[in-house]
């Protein structure tokens, strides 16, 4: 069973995992979507400064998705 966390915690976990990834570049970070929202108003997340790295976005997102949920 997946552990339930707040949307903010989920994004924090994404960023921790991203920083551990060997291909993470400086300035990359997951942020809430819509940008600037918090709490239950967060509907998703995006990777800031992605530089076309959809593979990195998918790898990190999938790893966290398999362990945690927000709703």
The model's pLDDT over 1-59, given as tens digits with 9 standing for 90+, comes to 899 999 999 999 999 999 999 999 999 999 999 999 999 899 999 999 999 999 999 99
State yes or no: pLDDT of 71 exceeds 90: no
pTM for the full model?
0.93
Pull the structure tokens for residue 62.
């999938």
Q: Which tens digit of pLDDT belongs to each residue from 49-66?
A: 999 999 999 999 999 999
Cα–Cα distance, 28 to 66 (Å, whole number): 22
Bridge partner list, 46: 31
Please give the span between the terminal C-alpha atoms of the chain, in angstroms, as a whole number: 13
DSSP string, 43-54: -EEEEET-TT-H
68's CB contacts (< 8 A; 6+ apart) are 2, 3, 4, 5, 9, 10, 13
């Amino acid at each position: 069973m997946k552990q339930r966390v707040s949307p903010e915690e989920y994004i924090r976990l994404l960023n921790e995992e991203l920083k551990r990834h060997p291909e993470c570049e400086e300035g990359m970070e997951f942020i809430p979507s819509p940008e600037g929202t918090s709490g239950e108003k967060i509907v998703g997340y995006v990777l800031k400064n992605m530089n076309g790295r959809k593979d990195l976005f998918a790898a990190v997102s999938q790893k966290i998705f398999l362990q945690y949920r927000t709703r």
